[in-house]
């Protein structure tokens, strides 16, 4: 990785947004948004199952009417905002709202962070929120609880790794993504090999219980 000219330091999350009260918000209290209000089409709802570390899971998206979305507009997100889970195990997973969902609403156990892009690159902040030091803060806050949950105040108080230069933040993101792409390639190879192993295992069991295993072994063909 290219050496940084600006030192890596720690900074409060509240210093990386313009207005902590407006830019770090969670979803509406449960009674203000009920599952019974979901509709087939309308304004998208982002729930916990849509959030993974550095990855938005675009599955089983629910919707509410535009009228309902207007009623709870404070709890909205736009494409490019950071979405963080504050309930579950693991919690504190963060990803960026995708470009193909320009506007939506978050549920109670999701937090929306709108970065001050003049101070921090959004991708850099998302990676920082998923870093080991921040994960440890979430773990410390929920240790010993049966249903891990972190409140909004604690999320606003998070301390995250930071580099002063936005240009260097972006260079770091480029390098991180280059290395992660290598990991993705390895995962693809491993998945393919595991699938092959599973097919071979099934073949062996099938032959074993159909009386063909000895014949296959003798022919050197499993």
Q: Can you tell me the distance from the alpha carbon of 97 to that of 104, in angstroms, rounded to the nearest whole number?
A: 9
pLDDT at 188: 80
Contact 95, 53 (CB under 8 A): yes
Q: Give the β-pairing of 43-46 and 103-106.
A: parallel
Distance CA 210, CA 63 (A): 51
Q: State both tokens at 137.
A: 């803060």
Domain extents in the chain: 10-162, 179-217
- So what's the pLDDT on residue 211? 65
pTM of the prediction? 0.80
Per-residue pLDDT, 1: 47
* Cis peptide preceding 82, ω within 30 of 0: no
**Which residues of the chain are under the pLDDT cut of 70?**
1-5, 143-146, 208, 211-222
Assigned CATH for 10-162: 3.90.220.20
């Amino acid at each position: 990785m290219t050496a940084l000219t600006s030192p890596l330091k720690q900074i409060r999350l509240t210093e990386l947004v313009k207005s902590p009260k407006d830019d770090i918000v969670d979803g509406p209290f449960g009674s203000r948004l009920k599952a019974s209000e979901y509709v087939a089409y309308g304004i998208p709802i982002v729930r916990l199952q849509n959030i993974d570390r550095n990855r938005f899971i675009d599955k089983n998206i629910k919707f509410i009417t535009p009228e309902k979305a207007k009623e709870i507009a404070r709890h909205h997100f736009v494409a490019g905002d950071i979405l963080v889970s504050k309930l579950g195990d693991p919690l504190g997973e963060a990803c960026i709202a995708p470009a193909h969902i320009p506007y939506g609403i978050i549920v109670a156990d999701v937090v929306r962070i709108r970065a001050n892009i003049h101070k921090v690159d959004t991708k850099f902040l998302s990676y920082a929120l998923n870093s080991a030091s921040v994960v440890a803060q979430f773990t410390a806050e929920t240790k010993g609880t049966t249903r891990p949950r972190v409140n909004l105040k604690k999320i606003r108080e998070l301390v995250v790794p930071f580099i002063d230069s936005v240009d260097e933040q972006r260079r770091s993101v480029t390098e991180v993504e280059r290395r992660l792409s290598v990991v993705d390639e390895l995962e693809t190879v491993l998945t393919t090999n595991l699938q092959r192993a599973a097919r071979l295992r099934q073949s062996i069991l099938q032959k074993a219980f159909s009386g063909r295993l000895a014949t296959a072994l003798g022919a050197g063909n499993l």
